[in-house]
Amino acid sequence: MLDPVPGNDGVRNIRQEQARTRRDGATGIAASREPAITRGNGEIDLYDGIWPTNFHKGLPHDRFGRPDPVAFGALQAGLSRSDAPAGLYATFNVALGPLGEAGANVAAERAGAAQGFEPVTRFHTVLADGRALSVRNWESPLAGHAYDLEGPDAGDVGMAPAPTLIGGELIAEMGEVYALALLRDTPFERWADTGTPVTVDGHTFGTVGDILGELGRLDFLDPDGKPGAGDGTGALGPGETRRRAARWDGRSGPTARTVFRGSSPGAMAGPYLSQFLLIGSGGDGGRTAATDAKDVRYLCPVAAPGGGGPAGAAGGYIAYGAQRIDQRISTALPGLDHMTDWTLWLDVQNGAGVAGSDTFEKGGMPRFVGTPRDLATYVHFDQLYQAYLNACLLLLAYDVPFDFGLPSGKGHLTRGSFATFGGPHVLALLTEVSSRALKAVRRQKFQHHLRGRPEQLAAMLTLAANAPGALGAARADTVAALDALRTHAPNLMAMIARRNARQNAARADRSRGIFPATTGAGAGFAPAEDANYLLPMAFPEGSPMHPAYGAGHAAVAGACVTVLKAFFELSPNEVTRPGLSQTLPAARAVDDQWWRMATLAERLRLRNVYVPPADPWAAALDPSGEWLPRDLTVEGELNKLAANVSIGRNMAGVHFYTDYFESLRMGERIAVGILQEQMTTYPDPCSMRVPSFDGDRLLISTTGRGDAALDVIGGDAGEWWGRHLAQGAFV
């Protein structure tokens, strides 16, 4: 009879005892990691009463966008749970929105009254889908207090302090989101030509080269500039230095080949968009859907909706069991931006629930992502792990083997991978690490940094230009930041003011049907037309109702891409003679052949690198005339995917570059921690090789006896865990 060893026989339940030992071992690994000490940048205590760089969206604000100070204090207390000890329900009774609006919370913690939304928004009390306008509430503000039973606790990972008003980094980040707002409708594939005109809603604001030139003169982005540190010392800290260098290819400053790209190996190579955001399953590696009709790995319906459309990589359809996923998206209307009017901005800052009033292109089929606005639309509506689920399905469809350090799969003669080390395992793990990353990043957002969104800082710069006295204690530093932008990038700032003026004129034209329209009524304050530096937003509601730092999309990207890099074999090598034991000894040398990264030609067997079609409504992708599959690696395209999705949020105007850079790396550590602890559960020796976002070679391994090790080949694991916490004098 079957009698598993070890088992439970009622006399001595050995299996249960060993299960507890291994669970305790995973707990010991988690407890052995040095917990992160996270510190904010100090600005929440520096600009009391104004808080120009802190998040307070949803609180009542006065006509200058300054938050109710009593409510802001209550927000801080509620986020800290100082009024709700463990075991007691946290009521989170914080003033929310204007008095008298549906969904508002009056609360006692309110110094003054914000009486209703202004006429710009109140003119339309019903959204396009029939919902009544109401106040938005904060998204999972206390999730960072929850605990986890697997992987690093949310309190054990951290991020460096966010950039400050003084120093050059935040000024550069603001310049970047202004530039991206202007570039929203310029196709990615035309960025390489610096002479490409930047046209929005029929008006040309200059060329791609003009905008890059403006950015390149900002001290932080100029290799020869003197940006100054955020701590006022003049010398950049390690975090600032890393983030500055990550934007360049060598020391050339922002170029059409490097600007707004990712910070990891391969992210600056090839076309801007990752192949994993574009291609479909199968049919491009010497095989076709027709010749392999019986091969489930290439199961992908040939015909597109309405007929026509090729199968395979260029068709953009991903096999999802007997169904398919279309890489095309419904696209937002080009040329339409939001929150360019002060009164409308103030309504949204007060929590006006205008989400769902997006305007989409009419009369066209969904199309491939091709512009920053398209990518912003993708990350507006995606499920956070969606892009990585699709990438995993593509890797499975192209028959990319699992890591040869695992005890089953192609490297093993008799044991295939499924429940463990197979498709169900890795697909489930993507959602698992996502949930952990979201809780950890919420703790950074709400409980540590409370960093304001770009839309808020843009409003403070607008105040600095029009009513600097309203900035109180923050006046000098905010005016200095504005002066730096207007001195080094004067044309960029003039373009933004001109863009806002044109958008506001369009809103005032009722025949355009833009929601919500401008009524002519104001909030009691209106900036001069040539000094309106509000950030044109891709989303009607602007940012989500949670702080900027860290970024949820980026933390999830870091966690999910790390899982994909750990599970799939990224080297071009093969195990030619499958065996009955572990097939690959742990690769512990820097120059080991198993650390060389496979190209798209070697692992996916692609014949072409693909770009969005020149005709945006075409049924298939275009082959790139410049790049070949041997030029790009699978690792690089996964890193690029993480960057595309994360920086796509910057293109919408809701995040800064730092939010992407630091959150990505925190997500990576969460995934590595979970993978390491899972190693304690496996009864066989096995290992996973993970090339990190910083180019480290991480090795996660076990002997099968309940142990689990993390090695950084050629480096130190302790240094790797804490590398991104410190930033100069803040620590």
Spatial separation of the C-alpha atoms in residues 98 and 121, rounded to whole Å: 13
Residue 541 buriedness (CB in 10 A; 0-12 / 13-18 / 19+): buried
How many helices (H) does the chain have, and how many strands (E)?
Answer: 18, 9
Task: Residue 702: name the closest of 721, 717, 688 by CA.
Answer: 688
Residue 243: helix, strand or coil by DSSP? helix
DSSP 111: S
**Residues pairing with 709 in the sheet:** 701
For 7-40, give the DSSP string: -B-SS-BHHHHHHHHHHHHHHHHHHHSPPP----
Sign, CA dihedral 190-191-193-199, equals positive
Spatial separation of the C-alpha atoms in residues 623 and 618, rounded to whole Å: 13
Residue 115 buriedness (CB in 10 A; 0-12 / 13-18 / 19+): exposed
Calculate the dihedral angle through the C-alpha atoms of 65, 71, 73, 76, rounding to the nearest 10 degrees.
Answer: -90
Tell me whether residue 56 is one of the annotated catalytic residues: no
Q: Which residues contact 490 (CB under 8 A, 6 or more apart)?
A: 214
Tokens standing for residue 12: 């001595």
Tell me whether residue 124 is one of the annotated catalytic residues: no
Tokens standing for residue 440: 């950890």
Spatial separation of the C-alpha atoms in residues 157 and 444, rounded to whole Å: 9
For residue 215, which amino acid is it? L
Q: Which residues contact 89 (CB under 8 A, 6 or more apart)?
A: none
Residue 614 buriedness (CB in 10 A; 0-12 / 13-18 / 19+): exposed
Of these residues, 488, 546, 655, 724, which one is catalytic? 546
Q: What is the CA radius of gyration of the chain?
A: 26
Q: Are the beta carbons of 171 and 141 closer than 8 angstroms?
A: no
Residue 2 buriedness (CB in 10 A; 0-12 / 13-18 / 19+): exposed
Q: Are the beta carbons of 595 and 691 closer than 8 angstroms?
A: yes
Task: Residue 535: name the closest of 352, 346, 340 by CA.
Answer: 340
For residue 94, which amino acid is it? V
Of these residues, 56, 61, 449, 553, which one is catalytic? 553
Residue 10 has a CB neighbour count (10 Å cut-off) of: 5
Q: Which residue has the tokens 């100090």?
A: 42
Spatial separation of the C-alpha atoms in residues 276 and 659, rounded to whole Å: 23
Q: Are the beta carbons of 630 and 609 closer than 8 angstroms?
A: no
Spatial separation of the C-alpha atoms in residues 692 and 712, rounded to whole Å: 10
For 161-179, give the DSSP string: PPP-SSSSHHHHHHHHHHH
Nearest-5° Cα angle at 84, 81 to 85: 100
Spatial separation of the C-alpha atoms in residues 203 and 337, rounded to whole Å: 14
For residue 135, which amino acid is it? V
Q: Are the beta carbons of 164 and 39 closer than 8 angstroms?
A: no
Residue 620's φ and ψ, nearest 5 degrees, are -145, 160
Q: Which residues contact 395 (CB under 8 A, 6 or more apart)?
A: 564, 568, 634
Catalytic sites, residue numbers: 546, 553
